[in-house]
C-alpha cells in the first residue's frame, strides 16, 4: 500500500517538507485554479509537478504527483445541459495531458452541486482538539429555516424537523451565519461566497432530475471517457457521496455498494473504478467497508482511510470525524482486505498491485490549532493518522507475524 498525502499546492499551509517528515511516498493534488470544464494544459500540469518536486529550500524532494484528486466533472455534464459535450471533450484532453505527464490515477466524484458537507468544521473534542461534524438537526435547521427550501420539512422525520425548529429558534445570529457558511463550504464557488439565492438556483436545476437519470448521466459520462482512459493506461476512480445519503432534495447515486456495483457493471473496464472512502461510506451503518474492499477490490484504485463515529443507528444521522483507529469502521479488517487484494494482483501479474492510500482528513490537534490549514487537512492530525495506519500495514505485512494474503496460514488469525 502506497502512502500518499493530499497537497493543495504552494498556498497549502502544510509544506513539502512536512509531507516528507510525515513519511509520505507520493502526492495527491489537483489544479484547483483551473475552472471546471476547462482543459488542464501540459504547462499547468508540469508547473504543479515542479512544485511537488522541490523542497522549500530549493533542493529536490524526491516526491512526485501520483494521484489526481479531483479532475472535476462539470455541473453541465451531470445535468446534460449547456456545453456538456464540449466539457467531455475537454475532460478527455485533460486525461491525455495527465497521461503524457505520467500520472495514472484520476479521482472524481458525481455529486450534484455539493461536494462534502458538514455543519461544524471545528467541533471541540474533550481533548481540546477539534474535528468536523455533521449534525442532522443543525442541517435540518439550515435547510428548513435558513435556506427555506420548499419541501425541506417533508424530507426529514417529523421529530427531527421539530427539534430543528427549536434549535433554530434558540440559535444566535452568529451561529446561524456560521452554519450557513459551513454547509455551503463544499459548494462550487464557495470561495466567492455564493449567496443563498445562488444556492437555490443551483438546486432548482435538479428539480426534474431523478436519481435514475443522474445515474444514467454518470454511465453516459463514463461511456464517453473510459475508452480514452483505457487507451491511455489510466485508472479513474469515483469518490462516494459525502455524506452518503440524500441532501437538499438532490439526487445521490454513489452512496452504497449496490450503487457502485451498478456503475461498475455498466462500464466493465478496469479503467473505471472506485475511490473507496471509508469515512464517507462509513457514515451509513449498512456499508460494510472491509466487505466492500473484498468484493469491489479488483476495481479499487485509491483508498481514503478515515473513520467516523455515528451518533445513532439511523441510516441518515449525525456523525463526527473520529481518530483514524477510532470510530465505527474496523480499520484493521479493511487494511487486511486491501493487502489481500494486493496479493491477488501480484499473483495475477498486475502492474497496479500497490494501491495508493491517503490518511483522509485528520483532527486538528497540537500546533494544527493555530495553523489554519484547509478544514480536514491539518499537518499533525493527518500525520498521526498516517502513522497509525502505517503501523497496521507494517504489522499485517510482517513476514513472521502478519498475513501475506489469501492462502497464508497466518490470515486465519486475523
Please identify every residue annotated as catalytic.
Answer: 239, 277, 304, 360-361, 377
A 10 A CB-CB count for 353 gives 14
Closer to ligand DNO by Cβ: residue 108 or 134:
108
Regarding 107 and contact with ligand DNO (CB under 6 A), the answer is yes
User: Which of 12, 18, 69, 143 forms a contact with ligand DNO (CB under 6 A)?
Assistant: 69
Task: Specify the residue, 96 or 109, whose C-beta has the smaller distance to ligand DNO.
Answer: 109
Q: Identify whether 64 is preceded by a cis peptide bond (ω within 30 of 0).
A: no
Least spacing, CB of residue 239 vs ligand DNO, in Å: 4
Q: Which of residues 260-319 bind ligand DNO (CB under 6 A)?
A: none
Euclidean distance between CA atoms 320 and 153, whole angstroms: 24
Distances 37 to 59, 75, 80, 220, 338 between C-alpha atoms, Å = 35, 9, 13, 16, 33
Residue 261 CB, shortest distance to ligand DNO, in Å, is: 20
Name the residue among 142, 143, 173 with its Cα closest to residue 155.
Answer: 143
As measured in angstroms, the least distance from the Cβ of 71 to ligand DNO is: 8
**DSSP 8-state assignment for residue 35:** P
Q: Which of residues 359-398 bind ligand DNO (CB under 6 A)?
A: 376
Q: How many other CB atoms are found less than 10 A from the CB of residue 241?
A: 30
| All three cell numbers of 280 | 464517507
Which is nearer to ligand DNO, 152 or 292 (by Cβ)?
A: 292
Selected range binding ligand DNO among 15-23, 92-100, 106-114, 173-181, rule: CB under 6 A: 106-114
- Give yes or no for a contact between 377 and 15, defined as CB atoms under 8 angstroms apart: no
22-25 CB contacts, 8 Å cutoff, 24+ apart? 22/379, 22/382, 22/383, 22/386, 22/387, 23/383, 23/386, 23/387, 23/390, 24/63, 24/386, 25/63
Q: How far is the CB of 236 from ligand DNO (least distance, A)?
A: 11
Q: Is 70 in the site for ligand DNO (CB under 6 A)?
A: yes
Which CB sits closer to ligand DNO, 99 or 121? Answer: 121
CB of 115 to ligand DNO, least distance (A): 5
- Region from 103-111, 160-168, 196-204, 213-221 binding ligand DNO, contact rule CB under 6 A: 103-111
How far apart, in whole angstroms, are the C-alpha atoms of residue 143 and residue 156?
10
Per-residue binding letters, 114-143, with ligand DNO (x by CB under 6 A)? -xx---------------------------
Q: Which of 61, 97, 109, 117 touches ligand DNO by CB under 6 A?
A: 109
Q: Which is nearer to ligand DNO, 52 or 281 (CB)?
A: 281
Minimum distance from CB of 161 to ligand DNO (Å)?
28
Residue 205: all three cell numbers together: 436545476
What is the Cα–Cα distance from 292 to 401, expressed in whole angstroms? Answer: 25
Stretch that binds ligand DNO, among 86-94, 109-117, 190-198, 225-233 (CB under 6 A): 109-117
Spatial separation of the C-alpha atoms in residues 59 and 380, rounded to whole Å: 24
**Number of residues in contact with ligand DNO under rule CB under 6 A:** 9
Q: Which residues bind ligand DNO (CB under 6 A)?
A: 69-70, 107-109, 115-116, 239, 376
Amino acid at each position: 500500500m502506497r502512502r500518499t498525502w493530499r497537497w493543495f499546492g504552494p498556498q497549502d499551509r502544510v509544506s513539502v517538507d512536512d509531507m516528507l517528515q510525515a513519511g509520505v511516498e507520493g502526492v495527491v493534488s489537483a489544479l484547483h485554479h483551473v475552472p471546471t470544464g476547462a482543459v488542464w494544459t501540459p504547462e499547468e500540469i508540469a508547473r504543479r509537478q515542479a512544485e511537488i518536486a522541490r523542497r522549500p529550500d530549493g533542493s529536490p524532494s524526491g516526491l512526485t504527483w501520483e494521484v489526481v484528486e479531483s479532475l472535476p466533472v462539470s455541473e453541465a455534464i451531470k445535468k446534460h445541459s449547456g456545453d456538456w459535450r464540449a466539457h467531455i471533450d475537454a475532460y478527455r484532453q485533460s486525461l491525455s495531458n495527465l497521461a503524457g505527464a505520467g500520472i495514472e490515477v484520476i479521482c472524481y466524484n458525481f455529486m450534484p452541486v455539493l461536494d462534502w458537507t458538514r455543519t461544524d468544521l471545528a467541533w471541540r473534542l474533550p481533548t481540546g482538539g477539534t474535528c468536523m461534524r455533521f449534525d442532522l438537526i443543525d442541517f435540518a435547521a439550515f435547510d428548513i429555516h435558513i435556506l427555506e427550501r420548499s419541501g425541506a420539512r417533508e424530507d426529514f422525520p417529523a421529530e427531527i424537523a421539530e427539534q430543528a425548529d427549536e434549535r433554530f429558534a434558540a440559535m444566535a445570529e452568529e451561529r446561524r451565519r456560521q452554519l450557513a457558511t459551513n454547509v455551503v463550504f463544499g459548494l462550487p464557488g464557495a470561495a466567492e461566497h455564493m449567496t443563498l439565492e445562488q444556492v437555490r438556483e443551483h438546486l432548482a436545476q435538479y428539480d426534474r432530475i431523478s436519481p435514475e437519470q443522474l445515474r444514467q448521466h454518470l454511465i453516459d459520462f463514463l461511456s464517453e471517457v473510459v475508452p480514452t482512459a483505457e487507451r491511455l493506461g489510466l485508472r479513474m476512480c469515483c469518490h462516494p457521496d459525502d455524506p452518503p445519503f440524500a441532501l437538499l432534495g438532490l439526487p445521490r447515486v454513489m452512496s452504497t455498494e449496490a450503487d457502485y456495483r451498478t456503475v461498475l457493471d455498466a462500464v466493465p473496464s478496469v479503467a473505471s473504478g472506485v475511490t473507496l472512502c471509508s469515512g464517507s461510506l462509513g457514515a451509513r451503518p449498512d456499508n460494510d467497508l472491509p466487505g466492500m474492499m473484498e468484493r469491489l477490490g479488483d476495481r479499487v484504485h485509491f483508498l481514503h482511510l478515515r473513520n467516523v463515529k455515528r451518533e445513532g443507528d439511523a441510516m441518515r444521522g449525525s456523525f463526527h470525524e473520529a481518530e483514524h483507529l477510532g470510530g465505527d469502521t474496523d480499520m484493521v479488517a479493511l487494511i487486511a482486505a486491501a493487502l489481500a487484494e494486493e496479493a491477488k494482483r501480484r499473483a495475477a501479474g498486475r502492474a497496479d498491485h500497490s494501491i495508493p492510500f491517503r490518511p483522509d482528513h485528520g483532527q486538528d490537534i497540537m500546533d494544527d490549532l493555530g495553523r489554519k490549514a484547509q478544514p480536514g487537512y491539518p499537518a499533525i492530525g493527518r500525520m498521526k493518522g498516517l502513522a497509525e495506519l502505517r503501523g497496521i500495514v507494517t504489522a499485517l505485512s510482517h513476514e513472521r507475524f502478519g498475513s501475506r494474503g489469501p492462502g497464508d496460514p497466518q490470515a486465519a488469525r486475523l
